[in-house]
Amino acid sequence: MNAAVIGRVATYVVLAVLAALLIFPLYVAIVFSLVDKPVKILTDPPVLLRDFNWRVYPDAFTNGDLGRYFVNSIIMSLGIMAGQLVTSVLAAYAFAFLRFPFKKVLFALFLATMMVPVEVIFTQNFQLILDLGWKNSYQGLIVPFLAFGFGTFLLRQAFVAIPSDLRDAAALDGYGHFGFLTRVVIPLARPMLATLSVFSFLLAWNQYLWPLLVADDRQYRTIQIALQSLVSTSPDKLNQGYAAVIMAFVPLFLLLIFFERQLVRGLTAGAVKG
């Protein structure tokens, strides 16, 4: 064996060990979720799957009323994602292609919103939602997040990279701003739009603090909040609690498998390379 082979084997070993460590917590959660008798989780936490029972999953889904929470999370995440795409595309277009007064100030303002995460303003924002009568409603979950500074920034980066002769060509073809945007810019920026969609969906799906405050009614509760209460209030049904955890994880994991390359490329093109 030459040194290169040894090096390669060593790399694989290191990778395998790191991968195992990284996956271990999720693996244990899966084991827990399949345990037939939840009592055993507390007395003798299983590391290996022995008495597994697939029924836990449908039971968890039914008993935990997970369907409703999933639907709420999906409505919220899709709503935020779609809204952010629209507002960010429009704003990014203005910043990339148009000249207008206070452009720098406004762009700085957009970037500045990144310094005001929901954690800073949630008390007053919540008060506002109460005043609007939006507590326990989809609009309360969605509307505050319908604009996205970072998304605007990412798209603007992509738009600026569009070759200038295309703009001239579009102008010659008689396209107005809207025509240029919809027929040239958006098709060309599709990879970045995909990246932004995934990113935006992920962030919305994973929200915790805001839905905890705004949607305390079961009817509007999101899956993230439901998970916490499933696990913490039913120690006698931990297997179902963790089945719910895994079920909340899997859709995003699938999304990740399909879009991982896209995410890497998009972030490379947008944020990292500038």
Site for other proteins in 85-144 (CB under 8 A): 86-88, 90-91, 93-101, 103-104, 106-111, 113-117, 119-128, 130, 133, 135-136, 143-144
CB half-sphere exposure, 117, CA atoms < 13 A: 7
CA–CA dist 187, 212 (Å, integer): 37
Q: Is 264 in the site for other proteins (CB under 8 A)?
A: yes
- The reply on whether position 69 binds other proteins by CB under 8 A is no
- Residue 35 pairs in a beta bridge with 52
Residue 224, SS3? helix
- Tell whether residue 169 is a contact of other proteins (CB under 8 A): no
Cβ of residue 231: shortest distance to other proteins, in angstroms? 5
Q: Is 6 exposed, middle or buried (0-12, 13-18, 19+ CB in 10 A)?
A: exposed
Site string for other proteins, 187-226 (x = CB under 8 A): ---------------x--xx-xx--xx--x-x-----xx-
Q: Which tokens is 137 given?
A: 């409603």
Quick one: which of 63, 71, 173, 182 contacts other proteins (CB under 8 A)?
63
d(CA 151, CA 180): 20
Nearer to other proteins, 190 or 206 (CB): 206
Name the minimum Å distance from CB 29 to other proteins.
5
Amino acid at 166: L
Taking the complex as a whole, how short is the minimal distance between the CB of residue 75 and other proteins, in angstroms? 17
| By CB under 8 A, residue 81 contacts other proteins | no
262 forms part of the interface with other proteins (CB under 8 A): no
Q: How far apart are CA 196 and CA 79, in angstroms?
A: 14
Residues within window 3-62 making contact with other proteins, judged by CB under 8 A:
8, 11-12, 14-15, 18-19, 22-23, 25-26, 28-29, 32, 36-43, 45, 47, 59
* Max intra-chain CA distance, the chain: 75
Q: Which amino acid is located at 65 in the chain?
A: D
Beta carbon of residue 190, minimum distance to other proteins (angstroms, whole number): 18
Which residue's CB is nearer to other proteins, number 1 or number 257? 257
CB of 261 to other proteins, least distance (A): 9
- Cα separation, 171 vs 162, in Å, equals 14
- Total binding residues toward other proteins, as defined by CB under 8 A: 130
Q: Give me the half-sphere count of Cα atoms (radius 13 Å) on the Cβ side of residue 189.
A: 31
Q: Which two tokens stand for residue 211?
A: 């839905």
Least Å from the CB of residue 193 to other proteins: 16
174 sits near other proteins (criterion: CB under 8 A) = no
Closest to other proteins by CB, 47 vs 190, is: 47
Please state the closest distance from residue 104 (CB atom) to other proteins, in A: 6
| Distance, CA of 245 to CA of 165 (rounded, Å) | 51
Tell me how far, at minimum, the Cβ of 197 lies from other proteins, in Å.
15
d(CA 213, CA 122): 9
**How far does the chain reach from its first CA to its final CA, in angstroms?**
44
